[in-house]
Structure 1
């Protein structure tokens, strides 16, 4: 087990990751907030899903998810349709415009990371990805969980593995 001083330094380093996130946010289109980008990325990764599943993946209240969905629908990036199994629930689908936006977000992020990490080896980048995925899984990050693409009548059981990060 690591020493107390190592955990203290890790806490400082994790706190400083906020600066990286802020720089990534600065290169994003103004009409696409970090929350909106997260929703688009989750829909791309996991496919169509109920609002309740999205709330779980985002680890936010359903009212927050509803606001994100409304924002994205207004811009034409997602469609919301009634769930055939439960007409009170909505299924979220990425539109062609949403797929184009997620491609643009991905391109911008990848370019920034490639520029800033240009002196890193491929192995170092892979190691960082692996360790960050493992760290998130250790904290029970639900985004490391694979969800069914099709809506489920009842909650499905999922398993978490470090290789399934978003």
Structure 2
């Protein structure tokens, strides 16, 4: 049956607030050191996924390949990633985080965890784990639905490859 539109509409309020907090963190410079902010998520994804193609990163992050390409250029210029030819298709590169990239992500993740721990100081671990599980489940389902529907991040109702 699924949730009602009213209930899902209510969920949008805290999701908008969560996204606004991300912007506040950016504006206050909490996470902008050696990693260009726009590319930090991509570098983190690459560290966690391991070596892969740019198209795989774009698909998983549900963004246009041109966005990934610009961000990868920034990361490469900063010495945080390397490229090598894909042995299966030498026209394509495989990307990997450098040791400096891995250290930058570890520091970024540590600082984010400290920020969240401070903000949620009155919560216990069980409550944080439950929130983690629920958000993870929701994001997995939303990502899967978005990818399966072929919805392009450019806007509602558009499909990948139809620009």
Say whether the fold is shared (TM-score over 0.5): yes
Structure-2 residue corresponding to 1:146: none
Match of 1:51 among 50, 54, 61: 54
The answer (yes or no) to whether the contact 1:78–1:92 under 8 Å persists in 2 is: yes
- Report the number of matched residues: 142
| Contact 2:85/2:92, CA 8 A, preserved across alignment | yes
Kept in 2: contact 1:24–1:112 (CA 8 A): no
Shift of 1:30: 4.4
1:140 aligns with 2:143: yes
Counterparts of 1:4 and 1:59 in 2: how far apart (Å)? 24
Which residue of 2 is the match for residue 164 of structure 1? none
1:1-166 aligned within 5 A: 2=3, 5-25=6-26, 26-141=29-144
TM-score (structure 1 length as normaliser): 0.77
Give 1:93 shift.
0.9
Q: CA deviation at 1:76?
A: 0.4
Contact in 1 for aligned 2:34/2:104 (Cα 8 Å): no
More helix by share: 2
Contact 2:55 2:65 in 1 (8 A): yes
Which SS does the other structure have where 1:118 is aligned? Answer: coil
Determine the C-alpha separation between the residues in 2 that align with 1:4 and 1:139. Answer: 15
User: Partners of 1:14 and 1:80 in 2: how far apart?
Assistant: 35
- Maintained 8 Å contact 1:24/1:109: no
Shift of 1:87: 1.2
Structure 2: runs of 5 or more not aligned = 146-163
Contact 1:79–1:95 under 8 Å retained in 2: yes
Provide the TM-score with structure 2 as the length reference.
0.79
Equivalent residue number for residue 159 of structure 1: none
**Which segments of 5 or more consecutive residues in structure 1 lack a partner in the other structure?**
143-166
Q: CA RMSD in A?
A: 1.9
Shift of 1:53: 0.7
CA contact (8 A) 2:36 2:74 kept: no
